[in-house]
Structure formats: C-alpha cells, structure tokens
Amino acid sequence: SKQNGRGQYSFFSSEMNERINARRRLAEDMRHSLAAGDFIVEYQPRFDTRARKIRSVEALVRWEHPERGRISPADFIPLAEQCGIITPLGEWVLRTACATAVNWEGVGVSVNVSPVQFHDPQFVEKVAACLQETGLPPHLLELEITEGVLLDDAARATETLEALKKLGLRLAMDDFGTGYSSLSYLRNFPFDVIKIDRSFVSDIATNQGARHIVQAILGLGRALGLSVTAEGVETNEQLTLLTADHCDEVQGFLLARPLRSSKIDELIVELSSQ
Ligand code: C2E
Ligand code: CA
Ligand code: CA
Ligand code: CA
C-alpha cells in the first residue's frame, strides 16, 4: 500500500542519509589526514626471475586513521576517487615514491594511477615536474594503469600515454585479464609491462585452465616485446611454474609483503651482498 511505501521510503532515506553522512565524514578525515601525515607508502618488491634480484618495487598507499587504525586502500581509494581527493593523494604518493626510490641505486618504483588522476589535464606536466624535482631517472619510474583509463576517450588516453612515454618512463597495464578488451588495448597503446592479475596466478598450480591462460599471456608478452609480471605469488609451486614458463618478474607474499622504505633499504643491501 501507499502508506507502507511511504514508511519504507522514510526508513530507507534516513538509512541513506546516515550512509551519506558517514562517507562525508570519511572524506573530511581523508583531507585532514593528507595534511596531517596519516598516509604512508609501503613498497612491495618485484623480483626478476632470471637475475634473481629486485628489479623494482610497487608503491602502495596506506591510511593510518587516527581513531580507526589502518584502513585498506580497497576501502578508501574508491571514496577518494568519488570526492576528488585521489588527485592530491596520488600526487603525494608519486612524489614520495620518486623521492624515496632515488636512493635505491638502479631499483625502480611503480606507482598506481587512478583514472581520475590520469584524466587531470595537468597530469603529464605534474609527472615531469616530479621527476625533475626528485631527480629520479625517468626509466626508473613505472606507472601502473588499469584498463579503466582507456575506456571513455581512447584518443585522449593515447595522447596522454604517448606524452608520458616521451618523458622516458615505463607504462604497465595492471590487473591484466580482469577487463574485457585488454587485447586490443595492448596493440593500440604504448605499454611496456603486463601485470597478470592475482586471480589467475592463484589458480595456476591447481587448475590447468588458469595455467594455460597465464602461458598464453606470457606468449603474448614475448610476441609484443612486453615484460610480464605475475602478481600475488603466494606458494613455491606457483613460483616454480612461473619461472619454468619464463615469467619475467614475480611479486607476492611468498617473496615479500609490502614493506616500509627502511626495510627495502635493508633488503637491497642484503640481496646485493649475496
Ligand atoms: P593492486 O594495484 O592490484 O595492488 C596489489 C595488491 O595486492 C596490494 O593490495 C598488495 O598488497 C596485494 N598483494 C600483493 N601480493 C599479494 C599476495 O601474494 N596475496 C594477496 N592476497 N595479495 C597480495 P593493497 O595494498 O591492499 O592495494 C589494493 C589496491 O588499492 C591496489 O591493487 C590498487 O588498485 C589500490 N591502490 C593501492 N595504492 C594505491 C595508490 O597509491 N594509488 C591508487 N590509485 N591506487 C592504489
Ligand atoms: Ca598495481
Ligand atoms: Ca594489480
Ligand atoms: Ca587489483
């Protein structure tokens, strides 16, 4: 009945208001935390399977909320994208990562770029300024981009990607295999690296189909002259299979969790003295 409908409506709308208010508070907290230094960057090593050393590390942002403790990026990145904070936050991550990596001789750093940040008309200029101000050699910076950035305006995305390539950095297609038109994207955009999504990697030891898909992606990478990184390597069995299949780089909890920069310093020294 109508009455019921109205009752439900007002119930629903107050619940919705509550949710909107909670999100608004969280967005406010984010702004505050960015100024207060409550965000930190951790770095997860990517190992070169042939040279058996750290080729580069992936920068991953963490939020240490003053009252709620650590909040996962999976929970706050989408909100940061919706309220626009992702742009200053992403710039802070980029700058922090470049300024840190400049001390790791020859070890590169990769930084995740949100579609919102990518579509900032000044994005390329900002990346150029960051490289110049931190002194990081451009070939040591890699930007990890998901297929989402290529979806709405392919012509403009191409322009931006080409301009980024001109700066001398590397481009990785992140979460490869989870989207739906990745193949044409690889042909049409200037990527250097494919990162195979964890969902395939986690099944390779137990599922023939998953292994065949990974092998096909590795073949594709070879044919197109792209380096391939496997994400989310958690077991020795997975590592053995990926090495046997000539995967270029591996990343995952088996090898190293995301770590504070001081731990990366130690790890680099440790590995280079072996
Ligand atoms: P992603 O770019 O795919 O990053 C890899 C995620 O997998 C990270 O989660 C990492 O900690 C996790 N991981 C690495 N190895 C393993 C493993 O062996 N097993 C499992 N189960 N997980 C593994 P994290 O740090 O929670 O980040 C989640 C997502 O948040 C990232 O996924 C990325 O999309 C986003 N993100 C993180 N930092 C940033 C950032 O600075 N900017 C933007 N735009 N997005 C970010
Ligand atoms: Ca990534
Ligand atoms: Ca990924
Ligand atoms: Ca992901």
pLDDT of residue 44 exceeding 70: yes
What are the φ and ψ backbone dihedral angles of 193, each rounded to 5 degrees?
-135, 140
Model pTM score: 0.94
Residue-wise pLDDT for 136-195, tens only, equals 999 999 999 998 888 878 889 999 999 999 999 999 999 998 876 667 788 888 999 999
What is the Å distance from ligand 2's center to 129 Cα?
22
Residue-wise pLDDT for 86-102, tens only, equals 999 999 999 999 999 99
pLDDT band at 20 (very low <50, low <70, confident <90, very high): confident
74 touches ligand 1 (CB under 6 Å): yes
Residues counted in the chain: 274
pLDDT of residue 8 exceeding 60: no
87 touches ligand 1 (CB under 6 Å): no
Cβ distance 178 to 195 under 8 Å? Answer: no
What is the ipTM, given to two decimal places?
A: 0.98
197 touches ligand 1 (CB under 6 Å): no
232 touches ligand 1 (CB under 6 Å): yes
Quick one: which atom of ligand 1 is closest to the CA of 251? 15
Write out the chain in H/E/C secondary structure.
CHHHHHHHHHHHHHHHHHHHHHHHHHHHHHHHHHHHCCEEEEEEEEEECCCCEEEEEEEEEEEEECCCEEECHHHHHHHHHHHCCHHHHHHHHHHHHHHHHCCCCCCEEEEEECHHHHCCCCHHHHHHHHHHHHCCCHHHEEEEECCHHHHCCHHHHHHHHHHHHHCCCEEEEEEECCCCCHHHHHHHCCCCEEEECHHHHCCCCCCHHHHHHHHHHHHHHHHHCCEEEECCCCCHHHHHHHHHCCCCEECCCCCCCCECHHHHHHHHHHHHCC
What is the Å distance from ligand 4's center to 197 Cα?
7
The position carrying tokens 């090898």 is 255
115 touches ligand 1 (CB under 6 Å): no
What is the Å distance from ligand 1's center to 60 Cα?
6
With the most atoms of ligand 1 within 8 angstroms of its CB, the residue from 34, 77, 83, 251 to mutate is 77
114 touches ligand 1 (CB under 6 Å): yes
What are the φ and ψ backbone dihedral angles of 105, each rounded to 5 degrees?
-55, 115
33 touches ligand 1 (CB under 6 Å): no
pLDDT band at 22 (very low <50, low <70, confident <90, very high): confident
Cβ distance 50 to 242 under 8 Å? Answer: no
